[in-house]
Structure 1
Amino acid sequence: MQIQQWLAKAHTQIQSDSAMLDAKLLLSFVLNKSTTYLFTWPEQTISETDLAKAEEVLQQRIKGLPIAYILGQQEFFSLPFYCNASTLIPRPDTECLIEFCLNEFDPKSSKTIVDLGTGTGAIAITLKSEFENWTVNAVDVQKGACELAIKNAQRNKVDIHVSNSSWLDNFKTDSLDIVISNPPYIEENDHHLDEGDVRFEPKTALTSGVDGLDDIRIIAKQSFECLIVNGYLIVEHGYNQAKAVTDIFIQHGFSHVESFQDYASNDRFTVGIKHTIASSN
């Protein structure tokens, strides 16, 4: 079977908004060739061995397994990251948090920051690659995620500190300039958890209580204690949670609280600044 014939057949079987792209990525993965190669040599015959492998990964995609899990990697802010089922797949919307930091902070500044619930390490590693003088900590309660973050840091040749713990439990008062996080924020009974690619991602990295905000409440409380005066809290959340997250930030002492939108003009993350000293109570 020729490359063009396989792609024509495969993309009609994939239930996805990007079916043809998915088919090209799968075949490129099997052949160990670029997608440009597929375009350049559409009449090239696929060997029987590669054809069998291509059919295997195609069936995985037809069943809904995310492309990133099949390929074992995902790009984020133009950097490559290993992916597996122990963590969420890095998503383009989260790149908005990186862009905010690039616009808000001096690239030559020296800051101590922590990425909470780091997963693949995408946020922490990307920030370290952009802000060389920052001391970047990455925290995750899942040991598998920590191991993956370390592997991705090595792959991208950056030095970050990865620790296996819960949120800010291991950080001291007034010790951080920035706390940034893409935490679980989906409601436990949200029907979207049973749809699309998200079905295959770890629920512990997705859900957070009845209203999806349990972890953000903990993060806000702990962050106000651990941040220095004028320190920043930056948290990703759901498109319909901006007001609730803003209220949580204000309740825990943050000021100049503002929400920002993603590329689809949906509310995506909220930023707060600690302008006073944490109470000892």
Structure 2
Amino acid sequence: MKPPATVGEALALAQGRIPRSEARLLLREASGLSAAAIAAFPERALEQAAAARFGDWLLRREVGEPVAYILGEREFFGRRFRVQADVLIPRPDTELIVEQSLRFSREWSMPRVLDLGTGSGAIAVSIALECPAAAVVAVDASEVALRVAQENARELGARLDFRLGCWFEPVAGERFEVIASNPPYIAAADAHLEQGDLRFEPRSALASGDDGLDDIRHIVATAPQYLAERACLLIEHGFEQGPAVRALLIAQGFQEVETCRDLAGHERVSLGRWN
């Protein structure tokens, strides 16, 4: 494929192959040009390196590789987080669990906050930056994910404690005012796992048993041992899983159980208090 010589040629090359908005984003990142310059000056020449980079990214996106993996980053809660193929890509819907975690964290002067399955660190780092008084602990079973999360914390200036291990194992004997988690919640046989961006993301961060609730069951059943008085457990889940997650929380003895909706109006985060 011949590298495009101008901005207009680059956009024409991408036409019909990937969405126009993605083509503009990739071209902007590949060239360093602003969105306004790309829109206003299609005749502007592209440097050879930028043209080659855009051509490579176009091919990768055309076969389905997520834009976040191509660029190595994704915006979340107003900040840029590094991501790579071994780490789940942060979604806008997950910002809801940050917002709700902050709502409860601010009830204490120095809250202890636990993020289970931190991945890129998007939830834990955002909470630590938005609530500096919080003592945030982030746990993940993946060494790779934990390194990515630590790098994001360093680059964004967040101070928190990272621990390697499966769910609650690294925090034995500790208690927290807020426990938040975006665990795997897709059924193992769900056809969506073979579609779109999900094909490229780590299966261990997506699928959880026959109904997608295995990890959520474990978290709900185990969390009371790690929750302080009046503490809150918050769990992100699929948009059809709200009733099931609320039932698990109520059966375990949580009170003030509720489900919060995302910007699309879908039930996305269920929570309850522990007495």
TM bucket, shorter chain: over 0.9
Q: Is the Cα contact below 8 Å between 2:104 and 2:232 reproduced in 1?
A: no
Determine the structure 2 residue equivalent to 1:56: 56
Q: Is the Cα contact below 8 Å between 2:87 and 2:119 reproduced in 1?
A: yes
TM-score relative to the length of structure 2:
0.94
Distance 1:40 1:160 in 2: 44
Distance 1:173 1:40 in 2: 60
How far is 1:67 from its partner?
0.3
Determine the structure 2 residue equivalent to 1:9: 13
Distance 1:250 1:131 in 2: 29
Q: Is the Cα contact below 8 Å between 2:26 and 2:54 reproduced in 1?
A: yes
**Which deviates the most, 251-260 or 85-94?**
251-260
Secondary structure of 1:159's counterpart equals: coil
Determine the structure 2 residue equivalent to 1:155: 155
Listed as ranges, the gaps of 5+ residues in structure 2 are none
Count of residues in Structure 1 that have an aligned counterpart in Structure 2 = 271
Listed as ranges, the gaps of 5+ residues in structure 1 are 276-281
Distance 1:227 1:8 in 2: 56
Determine the structure 2 residue equivalent to 1:76: 76
Which residue identity is paired with 1:8?
A
Q: Is the Cα contact below 8 Å between 1:173 and 1:227 reproduced in 2?
A: no
**Which deviates the most, 181-190 or 101-110?**
101-110
Determine the structure 2 residue equivalent to 1:25: 25
Distance 2:32 2:163 in 1: 34
How far is 1:40 from its partner?
4.0
How far is 1:169 from its partner?
1.3
**Which deviates the most, 73-82 or 22-31?**
22-31
Secondary structure of 1:170's counterpart equals: helix
Distance 1:261 1:152 in 2: 27
TM-score relative to the length of structure 1:
0.92
How far is 1:266 from its partner?
0.7
| CA shift digits 1:168-213 (9 cap, x unpaired) | 1122446111110000000000000011111100000000000101
Q: What's the RMSD between the two structures over aligned residues?
A: 1.5
Distance 2:61 2:107 in 1: 40
How far is 1:103 from its partner?
3.8
Q: Is the Cα contact below 8 Å between 2:234 and 2:272 reproduced in 1?
A: yes
Q: Is the Cα contact below 8 Å between 1:27 and 1:54 reproduced in 2?
A: yes
Determine the structure 2 residue equivalent to 1:278: none
Which residue identity is paired with 2:148?
L
Which residue identity is paired with 2:11?
L
| CA shift digits 1:73-128 (9 cap, x unpaired) | 00001011001011110000001112223444428831001100000000000001
Q: Is the Cα contact below 8 Å between 2:254 and 2:272 reproduced in 1?
A: yes
Q: Is the Cα contact below 8 Å between 1:26 and 1:57 reproduced in 2?
A: yes
Determine the structure 2 residue equivalent to 1:165: 165
How far is 1:55 from its partner?
1.1
Q: Is the Cα contact below 8 Å between 1:224 and 1:253 reproduced in 2?
A: no
Q: Is the Cα contact below 8 Å between 2:246 and 2:259 reproduced in 1?
A: yes
Q: Is the Cα contact below 8 Å between 1:66 and 1:197 reproduced in 2?
A: yes
Q: Is the Cα contact below 8 Å between 1:107 and 1:131 reproduced in 2?
A: no
Secondary structure of 2:44's counterpart equals: coil
Percent identity at matched positions? 37
Distance 1:203 1:58 in 2: 25
Distance change (3 Å), C-alpha of 1:25 and 1:108: farther
